[in-house]
Chain A
Amino acid sequence: MPGDFLNPEEQINLSPQIGDETKTSTCYMCACRCGIKVHLRDGQIRYIEGNKDHPVNKGVLCGKGSAGIMQHYSPARLTKPLRRVGERGAGHFEEIEWDDALQIVSARLAKIRARDPKKLAFFTGRDQSQALTGWWASQFGTPNHAAHGGFCSVNMAAAGLYTIGGSFWEFGEPDWESTEYFMMFGVAEDHDSNPIKMGLSTLKKRGAKFVSVNPVKTGYSAIADEWIGIKPGGDGAFVLALIHELLRADKIDLDYLVRYTNAPWLVIKDPGAADDGLFARGPDGEELCWDANTDQIADARLAGVAPKIVGEVRLDDGRTAVPAFQIMAERYMDDTYSPEAAALRSGVPAHHIRRIAAELAEAAFDKEIILDVEWTDWAGRKHDKMIGRPVSMHAMRGISAHSNGFHTCRAIHVLQMLLGTIDVPGGFRYKPPFPRPCPPPQKPAGKPDEVKPDTILPGPPLGFPTSPADLLIDEKGAAQRIDKAYSWEAPVSAHGLMHMVITNAWKGDPYPIDTLFMFMANMSWNSSMNTSGVMEMLTDRDGETGEYKIPFIVYSDAFWSETVPYADIVLPDTTYLERWDCISLLDRPICSADGPADAIRQPVVEPDRDVRPFQSVLLDLGARLGLPGMTNEDGSPKYPGGYPDYLVNHERAPGIGPLAGWRGEDGGSEGTGAINPKQLDRYIENGCFWSHDFPENQRYYKHANRDYLEYAAESGWIGSSDQIVMQLYSEPMQKFRLAAQGHGDINPPEQHRMRVNGYFDPLPTWYRPLESHDGIEDEYPFYALTQRPMAMYHSWGSQNAWLRQIHTSNRLYMNRTKAELEGLKDDDWVWVISHHSRIKVQIRLMEGTQQDTVWTWNAIGKRSGAWNLDTDAPEAKKGFLLNHVISELLPPKENGYRYSNSDPVTGQAAWYDLRVRIEKADPEEAADATTYPQFKAQPTRGGHSLRDNILRYGGLFKPVSSKADNQDNGTGA
């Protein structure tokens, strides 16, 4: 090297060994479930990278996944089971042995089960083992179970499953390789994060147009061709106006509608009758259409009929009926849905709505894709090509987290149907095991006569009601579940309402419970609305008995979160690198549209603490309780090897277990087959995942593709290979509405009738988010919401030494022009005031925010002392949660009743309905430069070696720079 100095030339080891061992597993730094390769050196983690062979991420890994090392070695890790000493919430514990902890919990649960199993509320958070936890709840016999779906995205799941038999979320994907026009609604960083980034890159490279509909221009919206800065909750109005334009111009795919949707099905028109608005049916219950070939009424599902889509039909009983399509067209062609009307509701100018409708039509119909792939439809007819309409859509939280989200999501699905773009080349594609019938046939278990001492439930606690008979209510119509799921307040709450559990249990409404058992859900902080109130409820005592109103709380988590101090017993979980797990087709699979896949986690390192994986603990508790599925006849545990034992040996139905790969005694079967004792070894040999590629002819039209449907039926995903007909018009909605109108045997109590009648519309509708009312603009002029930062997964990232350097605190972001009109400037401290409460925060102004919207990053704010951070950490002192100003209850109705702050159809938590006003803080209020509210610090937990002033992680791995080492490594490849 040239230089003025005689320093020795640097010896660089160009070929160091990364580690001495490499293990594959599945990431758990968010919900994406990417495949990872973990390199170890001397038992320590040297490097985590994406697994190139993996179907989800194909080798890439995001910022969160790349910070797995710091999560694994987090100083907030729990180290031993804990029993509360002192007051609940104070955070003082004594360490106890596992056997004592499990004995305490199982003794308490055994008593509950023997008396009244529903006194156990078992709720899990961002749980990736819901096939196990739901089954465990059924085995215990409590209906009071759900995971976090009710406060996450049940609107997307329910709207999708009731409409197209699949959903956005991670359960479907745009055809990134050939779509020409992609619309994304309400997604900042969300499911499926890496696949979306990879997809957007592919799509932009190809020159397709990407439109992002979101009040905030961050993340994906930043690279969109067009950003539609919509008013929060206005998306439904926007989408229905697009439908209005397309219908009026006849730019719709009628062939698609007739073949694949219920558009031609006849709907009874007999106002006042008990079956008004239901489908006209033949003697065998078959839906009917008017067949133009025979000029007669015919079975609507028959192949070869020529259904009319408009025109009044006289039924055999003399009444009239019209095709569902006509009812829909009549509705949306009306001026109520004009672009001008939608502009007022959504803030999107009418001429943009018109233009986007024209662009959609152009992409769908002028850029038709034809694949020369032969396929066979459900009726056995061969087609020599697959026709695609290259318009695709994806929607998530910005749609979901509103009280009008179910209908808005249905509206997006109807728009997709009208354009003929679901599961076609270039469109939105189902990922197996979807599509399923709309909705899937499972019903929730837990009716009053199904919950009995020492008895398992006859089915899973969660399911899909299609009529009032499926609700979990008593003879007076009162809720049976602690979260009031499947009651008249949220009839289609397919994922429960975890956000209401603590409030309801505290009130004893509908009844008091004994034990609240939770897993990795930060319910005393960022996962609850009214966080301050919830913290009080968890510690509130009965005035007479002095007992806590929620008598006993058991909590399992891996980390010292805000919720741990509220537990009476803490069961410490492992990190994701220390455990077995299963990403199952029975749960939330990792399939692609081109084929099914599932995966495992394997322990990459052994725990160095006295912690146990929660799923194994749950099976242990099940055996201690003698739950039938977890106990042999002699009373011994059925899965003594814990979760991995269960993964291999549990069968949900004969031949169907948690894992679909390498089944059969010799591992030669896929999907179904006998138990294979070597199954986990085979997964590990294959990189910890299994995948199957569909042949070309099964990749599209899955709802109507015979070869696909037969494969799906053989795999146990669907009950039969019948065509799955999409439900543009939703009969289950109408059944609930009729009940509210007084028809049938099961009717809502008087106080709920108007509400059910109003919101259970068989066609997608739009209404203002429930927190908004006439005149709200004067009182609370702003919408307030959160966006997910790309480098954080909920509250988890702040304990991570690397990720917290990216987001150490959060600001409230406001539109610059609007803020300046209000006399606000960058860095001002303001009060954010809702109907419920107020918080003090610091603002930052930006251009890319819809003018009536304020927002912040989700879950950056922390309680002082939580996650074992310094009690003065910026997360606690400068960071904040919007949750404090969101009430879990809506303002009182005239009769004083307060409904939950949820979608009235699904019970989805309506986080983004929030309305606020902004007031500048007085100079003296701003002087402490600290957010409000602040809480007494929870004690930090000592004894963690990594809570050092300087972290020098990796220093031990530094390659030795000698020539000899170079040569050794060079030949060791």
Chain B
Amino acid sequence: MTLLPPRAKPGDRKLGLVIDLDTCVGCHACAVNCKEWNTGGHSAPLPDHDPYGTDPNGVWFNRVHTFEAGKGTDSRTVHFPRSCLHCEDAACVSVCPTGASYKRDEDGIVLVNEDACIGCKLCSWACPYGAREYDSDSGVMKKCTLCIDRIYNENLEEEDRVPACVSTCPASARHFGDLNDPESDVSQLVKERGGQELMPELGYKPVNRYLPPRARKREQSPSGVGAKLEPLVDLAPNRDNKFLRWVDRVLSR
């Protein structure tokens, strides 16, 4: 089995994503841009089986799920992007019989060394988040690399050295950074917005965080739930002129 690197200490880097469920409208930009980048990137290609046929299905590192939570008019339509969470206690790594699945010491990114992968799929069974993508065409497991060929890429401008999904998101619902650094923008965002782990009870210590929707401002105006405008008194039914209030208004063009 494969060993995990030592737990990140203060000062180490723990790179991951922070995904804002308050502004994600489910447009799939992140999913498709990820596909587009990565099909020509480190894990290239991300093949598509039967692309124009009866059962098109391909390898995607990032998928958006839409579902409803709650009942009736208070129900919420949730758009939930899902990709590898780069867990600290990544079961997909420890379960790997060949060392192909590994977690990088220097930044915590979980990767697959395709040269060592035998396609046994133990890792995909172990991953509780369904984040692994088996490429049956080449017989190896693939997964989100956190765009490792972008984030350190000296051929890109500094501000572009973020995963493709972050760079393309129209709703600014995706953020990238070092979640081990309490001063980083992403850590601050998690702190401010109460960012959450996905299924922490499983104990895999995912690095990525989800920001819950902000409190809805439904009926929260200072004037309250029963707010209404008071009609002016000259509207009483027996008044001769309901326009009285406007008759002497001095207005100027």
Contacts and interface: CB of A to CB of B under 8 A. Distances in A.
Interface string A558-583: 00000000000000000000000000
Contacts of B49: 949-950
Given A197-B27, A329-B246, 19 more contacts: A7-B98, A194-B170, A205-B23, A218-B77, A219-B25, A226-B216, A248-B235, A249-B232, A250-B232, A250-B245, A292-B251, A305-B252, A310-B247, A355-B225, A790-B26, A790-B28, A801-B58, A950-B47, A959-B149
A953 B250 CA distance: 71
Interface of B: 1-5, 22-29, 31-33, 35-42, 44-58, 60, 66, 68, 70-73, 75-79, 98-100, 102, 104-105, 111, 113, 115-116, 137, 148-149, 152-156, 159, 164, 167-173, 213-214, 216-219, 221-223, 225-232, 235, 242-243, 245-247, 249-253
Contact of A805 (B58, B76, B102, B245): B58
A201 B249 contact: no
Interface string A273-306: 0000000000000000000100000000011111
A222 B78 contact: yes
Contacts of B149: 12-16, 959
Contact of B229 (A302, A354, A817, A972): A354
B53 A873 contact: yes
A842 to B, nearest CB: 16
Contacts of A219: 25-27
A227 B221 CA distance: 15
A357 interface: yes
B43 to A, nearest CB: 8
B44 A955 contact: yes
B53 A67 contact: no
A2 B3 contact: yes
A47 B44 CA distance: 13
A305 B169 CA distance: 51
A307 B251 contact: yes
B251 A255 contact: yes
Contact of B115 (A4, A10, A802, A872): A10
Given A197-B27, A200-B25, A310-B246, A359 B52 contact: no
Contact of B171 (A65, A198, A954): A198
Most A C-beta atoms less than 10 A away, residue of B39, B115, B167: B39
Name the 10 nearest CB pairs between A and B, nearest first. A954-B39, A249-B229, A957-B40, A954-B40, A5-B99, A63-B28, A847-B75, A197-B170, A958-B44, A801-B51
Contact of A307 (B3, B71, B253): B253
Given A3-B102, A223-B213, A873-B53, A63 B227 contact: no
B225 A2 contact: no
B78 A225 contact: no
A714 B4 CA distance: 68
Contacts of B228: 245, 351, 354-355, 357-358
A14 B152 contact: yes
Nearest to B30: A63
A310 B235 contact: no
9 contacts: A1-B105, A200-B171, A204-B22, A226-B219, A311-B247, A874-B55, A951-B48, A953-B48, A969-B154
Which of B37, B156, B246 has the most chain A CB atoms closer than 10 A to its own CB?
Answer: B246
A361 interface: yes
Contact of A47 (B37, B55, B104, B173): B37
A61 B52 contact: no
Given A310-B246, A847-B75, A973-B154, A66 B48 contact: no
B54 A3 contact: no
Interface of A: 1-5, 7-8, 10, 12-18, 41, 46-50, 52, 57, 59-67, 69, 75, 189, 193-194, 197-198, 200-201, 204-205, 209-210, 217-223, 225-227, 229, 245-246, 248-251, 254-255, 258-259, 264, 292, 302-311, 325-326, 329, 333, 351, 354-355, 357-359, 361-362, 790-791, 799, 801-806, 808, 817, 846-848, 868-870, 872-874, 946-959, 969-970, 972-973
Contacts of A808: 56
B53 A309 contact: no
A7 B235 contact: no
Nearest to B135: A952
B56 A801 contact: yes
A221 B73 CA distance: 12
Contacts of B79: 222
Nearest to A803: B32
Given A200-B25, A307-B251, A355-B228, A2 B71 contact: no
B102 to A, nearest CB: 5
Contact of A953 (B39, B42, B148): B39
A797 B24 CA distance: 21
Nearest to B213: A223
Contact of A60 (B78, B154, B170, B232): B170
Contact of B36 (A2, A14, A69, A329): A69
B110 to A, nearest CB: 12
Given A62-B170, A229-B73, A7 B99 contact: yes
Given A4-B3, A13-B42, A15-B152, A61 B29 contact: yes
A248 B229 contact: yes
B54 A870 contact: yes
A952 to B, nearest CB: 4
B113 A10 contact: yes
B56 A66 contact: no
Given A358-B227, A790-B28, A950-B48, A804 B153 contact: no
Nearest to A359: B221
A801 B33 contact: no
B71 A306 contact: no
A717 B83 CA distance: 49
A942 to B, nearest CB: 13
A325 B247 CA distance: 12
Contacts of B53: 869-870, 873, 949
Contacts of B229: 245-246, 248-249, 251, 354, 357-358, 361
A460 B251 CA distance: 42
Contact of A5 (B58, B98, B253): B98
A219 B171 CA distance: 12
A818 to B, nearest CB: 11
A48 B36 contact: yes
B251 A309 contact: yes
A219 B164 CA distance: 22
A970 B26 contact: no
A229 B70 CA distance: 16
Contact of A217 (B22, B75, B111): B75
A958 B52 contact: no
B241 to A, nearest CB: 8
A226 B154 contact: no
B219 A355 contact: yes
Contacts of B227: 354-355, 358-359
A740 B218 CA distance: 46
Nearest to A334: B242
* Most chain A C-beta atoms within 10 Å of own C-beta, residue among B3, B153, B169: B153
A808 B48 CA distance: 14
A60 B29 contact: yes
